[in-house]
Structure 1
């Protein structure tokens, strides 16, 4: 079928049945407005996630072609139409309205469109259908329009109002489900407490990395109160590291940050200038200490000492991977 025929170049269009009328006639405005509403429903259909709503919207779109065809027919064409909307279609609308009204409950104030893009498109479609209804009622004053068609269009705007409400409801429902699932996943994937067994696993990972790069280290773990629960010393590790390593773990817990992040903060004029002189000189301000977090909660800290700052940090990261492996 050709997209352009040139028959409408003079401002007229053909009706089903053979007659021609002006493109700005009331009749054309009626089915043209329904076409606008159908396009808007197409946007809503593409945005809606609920399969239940998508099925209803798609069915309405198909029915609007039937309504549009009747409005785009002259008297002869109307007699040739195989399908027309009827009371069964109106009853289906009423069933949908009753179903969602029972699920969503009554409303006591005006609804401002825009809670979701899809619901806003449904409200836009509803307003277009209302405009089409006004035009069709006006058309009925000039030429007869079946009462079932007028009733169908009237009830359709009510259906779209309920579908817009339902779209917001389903959207919020999915958001809640997603957040609950996220919380469950977070609970399952992160350790409930900092156990000695977990501390030993982290120490093993740190030792393996340290051995791989040839650096003997001391690895320490502190609990949420800054108390040392494990000190793991490799052979030939520096004696000084027996003091530095647990202090790095303590610092990470006490200040809730990695120790290398303190460097700019302790400079003159910095927010934590002088903090290294507090806490009985246990604060370490160079890399190798990291807090252990579950969500935003600090449940402990680790400290690595024995190599350069970069080497200590690299080794500590391997231990962090063990702690976070379930995430």
Structure 2
């Protein structure tokens, strides 16, 4: 069947109920406007991708085909009942109530366009409003299914609330990304990146420790002082397990090397006695280094097992591999 039929060349078209009417007929205007809204909803669905909203919009699009069939039927319904029912209206109301429970109220007029999907939903909403006005005019001249008018009214409300919720999600995601960026990253990807770097640093430190013939423990913590990875070489002292971890913690907490902290912890210096604070976790001898990225301390590396000089050499080898 060809797309063009030539039956509309004189400005007329056929209703679903077989009557021929001009294309500027208010009934044609009504279902044509609903068709526009359906296309705008499709745009919003495409912009939403795989999010759950998209699936719900697709169900609404299918229902709008029934709305248009009702609007394109003059007189009694073709199959004894209208396709748009009270149950469909109730479904929209239920979805509106669900979204309203998570929507943050806005005490001002909305300017559409904060995100692409939200803008498309607002575009669809205004088209549904226009369709509703068309149906009101149609009802003054001809009989229609009253449920159709109610459905369009609820649909415009739903699209408004959904647009706000989509924008709300986008804003939360944006703020989350910015906070994670400021804090050095706390997403799973960021953790994986830190872990991979920690593994490389530990491997390099272990190689240096093997080179100088001293079994050691190497520990790496994140920005909050939490353990990311720790490795104990065969033969390393058991005491070095906690010492290496505390050196990494100290370097992170003080944002300086434990060698620098040792100098400042001497009698008369500004950090004197700090080794007695924080549950005794502060270590004030060399072997702990802060890990700095873009001027921000993102973690710490601690080494224990040899002399202070040996620990510092091995720690520096590990830090070099991190970069």
- 1:72 matched to 2:53? The reply is no
> Which structure 2 residue ranges, 5 or more long, are not aligned?
212-250, 261-290, 299-316
Counterpart pick for 2:186 among 176, 183, 186: 183
Q: Distance in 1 between matches of 2:94 and 2:257?
A: 64
What residue in structure 1 maps to residue 117 of structure 2?
118
What residue in structure 2 maps to residue 143 of structure 1?
142
What residue in structure 2 maps to residue 90 of structure 1?
89
> Which structure 1 residue ranges, 5 or more long, are not aligned?
208-222, 230-291, 300-317
Shift in alpha-carbon separation, 1:92–1:200, aligned structure 2, 3 A: closer
- 1:58 matched to 2:53? The reply is no
Deviation per residue, 1:214-254 (Å, 9 max, x gap): xxxxxxxxx9879999xxxxxxxxxxxxxxxxxxxxxxxxx
Q: Distance in 1 between matches of 2:320 and 2:2?
A: 64
Q: How does 1:159-308 map to 2 (within 5 A)?
A: 159-175=158-174, 180=180, 182-184=185-187, 185-186=189-190, 189-190=193-194, 201=205, 293-297=292-296
RMSD: 3.6
Work out whether residues 203 and 319 of structure 1, in 8 Å CA contact, stay in contact via their aligned partners in 2.
no
- 1:28 matched to 2:32? The reply is no
Question: Which structure's CA Rg is the greater one?
Answer: 1
What residue in structure 2 maps to residue 134 of structure 1?
133
TM-score, normalised relative to structure 2: 0.60
Work out whether residues 41 and 125 of structure 1, in 8 Å CA contact, stay in contact via their aligned partners in 2.
yes
TM-score, normalised relative to structure 1: 0.59
Q: Distance in 1 between matches of 2:135 and 2:256?
A: 75
- 1:39 matched to 2:43? The reply is no
Shift of 1:189: 3.8
Deviation per residue, 1:257-291 (Å, 9 max, x gap): xxxxxxxxxxxxxxxxxxxxxxxxxxxxxxxxxxx
What residue in structure 2 maps to residue 18 of structure 1?
18
Q: Distance in 1 between matches of 2:121 and 2:322?
A: 48
Shift of 1:117: 0.4
